Structure 1
């Protein structure tokens, strides 16, 4: 019997709500593979201490660090089902590392079908260019609004040290949203090449969910958790309501345990 895995996630001020696109990608893979897991919620200022406690590896270099200081980030994952040579649970960090591990350790429901690794990599680059890079400043400037008071203070202090004042990252939201629409138009055109039968243009690979869908969905969910409600409603309506339909189409993997 498969034991319960543990996924480490960052709560909002309301509590158990996923907002990070990196965590969403892992969560959707766990849901798709139907693996039993629980969530351990870690407020943003505590991620480093928790990472050290569980023995997770650091994942990113602290921006601007002259000493190459490394930081822990969420997601992190503990898997008790495949103990290492010392008999201890596997501890992982970083969404890509975790997804690749889950594909190898639990191959029953593949999210990256055989022979599609290169295509998935290319699609991820395409999504980064046309969604993530377009929407980043719009979302990051509002991230503090959804965090706990401790999380908000930590986010603002660290990010403004790295990037400068958050309010200056997106001086013209109307112009930034126009860039997002341009990027989403390109993604919609790519999906339209699949045709329209049976929801074909709501999936990257017609007929099945794959990690390519999760990469795209994670950024939409990130925006939906943070941007202003009128902005979100507008985004959902673009391309004939495509983005709202895509989110509704994949509700089976968009859940929290």
Structure 2
């Protein structure tokens, strides 16, 4: 393992570019702050074993007390003379990177609380109507080895079923409601000319959280889901995607 750069753990899939939104939130920060890092790709079936091995903390616990290990996780070898810093949970990692590397802040002074609320809305409310549409499409892009792991495990998980017909259009109506609501909120920003970013002028963690969802849509379903969403609300979401594009490098 390199001793000079941050390591970011990401999910291996058949998609040429990474897609997982929670992990993209951290990759955005690393790129925006111009921090050197490398990506280590893990099969979904190997996440728990890998994270236990490197000493990462679980991100949550099941009702029976068993730990749940999820990505993103970073290892930062630069911040300690005795041992590297190993962190899980995207919000914890974001706070750490902002504190440890304050140059080029993603939380402008006085904005952290409001941005935390915005990000909470994105991950707990805004994205929910998209899940029934995107999860089956994402499952199809996982390597066969990973799909087989879920279907033959101790508690076999059937593959998620893609919605069709009226059920799918109903789901899209719920998605459109969330995008319309958020567009109405962002319309209150005018200082950047189109209100595309949450803070009104400069990109911030809130924009990275939202654009991470757009990347998930674009990578998993570029010609269907993204082709639909990018035209909504006067092309606002395509503008935000373009605004964040310079921070989309993958190392």
Please give the TM-score of this superposition, normalised by the length of structure 2: 0.89
Q: Measure how far apart 1:222 and its partner are.
A: 1.5
Is 2:57–2:69's contact at 8 Å kept on the other side of the alignment? yes
Question: How many residues align structurally?
Answer: 247
Q: Which residue of 1 aligns with 2:80?
A: 83
Q: Which residue of 2 aligns with 1:6?
A: 7
Q: Which residue of 1 aligns with 2:67?
A: 70
* Residues 112-123 of structure 1 mapped to structure 2, 5 A cutoff: 112-123=107-118
Shift in CA distance, 156/244, structure 1 to aligned 2, threshold 3 Å:
farther
Structure 2: segments with no counterpart, 5+ residues: none
Q: Which residue of 1 aligns with 2:137?
A: 142
1:103 aligned onto 2:104: no
- SS of 2:8's equivalent in the other structure is strand
Q: Which residue of 2 aligns with 1:37?
A: 37
| RMSD value, Cα | 2.4
Q: Distance in 1 between matches of 2:54 and 2:121?
A: 34
Shift in CA distance, 169/18, structure 1 to aligned 2, threshold 3 Å:
same
* Residues 134-213 of structure 1 mapped to structure 2, 5 A cutoff: 134-155=129-150, 166-167=160-161, 172-195=167-190, 198-213=192-207
Structure 1: segments with no counterpart, 5+ residues: none
Q: Distance in 1 between matches of 2:193 and 2:230?
A: 17
Q: Measure how far apart 1:100 and its partner are.
A: 0.8
Q: Which residue of 2 aligns with 1:49?
A: 49
Cα deviation 1:166-194 (Å, max 9, x = unaligned) = 22888811110111111101111111111
* Residues 230-245 of structure 1 mapped to structure 2, 5 A cutoff: 230-245=224-239
Is 1:10–1:43's contact at 8 Å kept on the other side of the alignment? yes
- SS of 1:8's equivalent in the other structure is strand
Q: Measure how far apart 1:147 and its partner are.
A: 0.9
Q: Measure how far apart 1:74 and its partner are.
A: 1.1
Q: Distance in 1 between matches of 2:222 and 2:108?
A: 36
- SS of 2:213's equivalent in the other structure is helix
Q: Distance in 2 between matches of 1:101 and 1:167?
A: 38
Going by fraction, where is helix more abundant, 1 or 2?
A: 1
